[in-house]
């Protein structure tokens, strides 16, 4: 999927919502455990109920890898279902990969070729030659961890190196990598005070913003400081939507929560369009 196709979908749905499909078998409705594939059954119900309200889905691969082969098969079935039924939706493999040379190429092939995701999250710590193999895939996007929403982000990401915070150096350096136009960046919703400065470094890039809702991030603040001319934001909500209920009506409850966020986004987009 191209960036322009994503922008078009955002304008069409009046939504820049990304729903995280982080399936924990201890949290899903217990009756689903009787299904042959409870993970996929849960995801399918969520997707069927929310696809018209969001523009992206983001499975965190750890929640599938933890269940071994059956979890990986459930991930494959989930992405295949999205691509078949809703090809207009942007898909994100939240895998946080990153290694040098051929290893990164193999990671990229796993998510881009085999599973056919549109994008994958990548850690930048090992530098250029760990990221460029992902960027080599045409019309695929690499979402670089820049400034994350967790408390531990302050351990390294905001430390000054030669008078400049490390996350800023990551942003600036990455702009010079081959095919950097395929880069997006993770910036946590709990770090809104940094967004204005981030936008001076990467004014045109899309930002994947986790942390709205359960982690305390504020949608209006994120949009005020992070939105650009092409919207440029994917706001992720995982637990706040998919675990809105653990009863038989869980999918309907998820849709209601997604609708709340979508309506708030629509109001913001309408204000933006009116100048």
List, as one string, the DSSP characters of 221-264: HHHHHH-BTTB-EEEEESHHHHTS--STTHHHHHHHHHHHHHHH
Percent of the chain predicted with pLDDT > 70: 98
For residue 158 the two structure tokens come to: 């905001």
- Partnered with residue 215 across adjacent β-strands are none
User: Quick one: pLDDT at residue 216?
Assistant: 60
CB crowding 37-70: b at 16 or more within 10 Å, else e? bbbbbbbbbbbebbbebbbbbbbbbebbeebeee
User: What would the pLDDT profile of 64-101 be if each residue is shown by its tens digit?
Assistant: 999 999 999 999 999 999 999 999 999 999 999 999 88
- Partnered with residue 57 across adjacent β-strands are 19, 91
CA distances from 166 to 156, 162, 212 (A): 7, 9, 24
How far apart CA 197 and CA 240 sit, in angstroms, is 28
Least Cα distance to 185 among 124, 130, 99, 230 occurs for 124
How far apart CA 43 and CA 65 sit, in angstroms, is 15
User: Quick one: pLDDT at residue 194?
Assistant: 87
Beta-carbon contacts of 13 under 8 Å, excluding residues fewer than 6 positions away, are 52, 53, 54, 55, 262
How far apart CA 183 and CA 163 sit, in angstroms, is 25
How far apart CA 158 and CA 148 sit, in angstroms, is 10
Least Cα distance to 247 among 25, 19, 20, 30 occurs for 30
Angle 3-13/250-273 helices, nearest 10 degrees?
A: 100
User: Quick one: pLDDT at residue 214?
Assistant: 58
User: Quick one: pLDDT at residue 215?
Assistant: 59
For residue 174 the two structure tokens come to: 């990455």
User: Quick one: pLDDT at residue 211?
Assistant: 76
User: pLDDT tens string for the chain (275 positions)?
Assistant: 999 999 999 999 999 999 999 999 999 999 999 999 999 999 999 999 999 999 999 999 999 999 999 999 999 999 999 999 999 999 999 999 999 889 999 999 999 999 999 999 999 999 999 999 999 999 999 999 999 988 898 899 999 988 999 999 999 999 999 999 999 999 987 777 889 999 999 999 999 998 776 556 689 989 999 999 999 999 999 999 999 999 999 999 999 999 999 999 999 999 888 76
- Name residue, tokens 């460029």: 132
Catalytic residues: 96
How far apart CA 53 and CA 22 sit, in angstroms, is 18
How far apart CA 70 and CA 169 sit, in angstroms, is 40
């Amino acid at each position: 999927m191209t960036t322009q196709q994503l922008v078009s979908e955002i304008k069409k749905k009046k939504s820049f919502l990304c729903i995280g499909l982080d399936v924990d078998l201890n949290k899903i409705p217990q009756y689903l455990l009787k299904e042959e594939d409870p993970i996929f059954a849960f995801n399918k119900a969520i997707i069927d109920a929310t696809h018209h309200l969001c523009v992206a889905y983001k499975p965190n691969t750890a929640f599938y890898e933890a269940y071994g082969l059956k979890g990986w098969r459930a991930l494959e079935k989930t992405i295949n279902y999205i691509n078949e039924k809703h090809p207009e939706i942007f898909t994100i493999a939240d895998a946080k990969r990153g290694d040098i040379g051929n290893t990164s190429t193999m990671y990229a092939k796993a998510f881009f070729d085999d599973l056919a995701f549109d994008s994958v999250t990548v850690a930048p710590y090992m530098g250029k030659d760990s990221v460029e193999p992902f960027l080599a895939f045409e019309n695929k996007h690499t979402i670089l961890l820049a400034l994350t929403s967790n408390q531990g982000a302050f351990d390294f990401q905001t430390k000054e190196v030669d008078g400049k915070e490390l996350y800023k150096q990551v942003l600036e350096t990455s702009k010079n990598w081959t095919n950097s136009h395929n880069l997006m960046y993770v910036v946590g919703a709990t770090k809104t005070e940094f967004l204005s400065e981030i936008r001076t470094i990467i004014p045109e890039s899309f930002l994947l913003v986790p942390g709205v809702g359960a982690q305390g991030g504020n949608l209006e603040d994120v949009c005020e400081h992070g939105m650009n001319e092409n919207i440029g934001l994917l706001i992720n909500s995982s637990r706040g939507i998919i675990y809105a209920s653990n009863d038989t009506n869980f999918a309907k409850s998820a849709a209601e929560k997604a609708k709340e966020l979508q309506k708030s986004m629509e109001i913001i987009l309408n204000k933006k369009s009116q100048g």
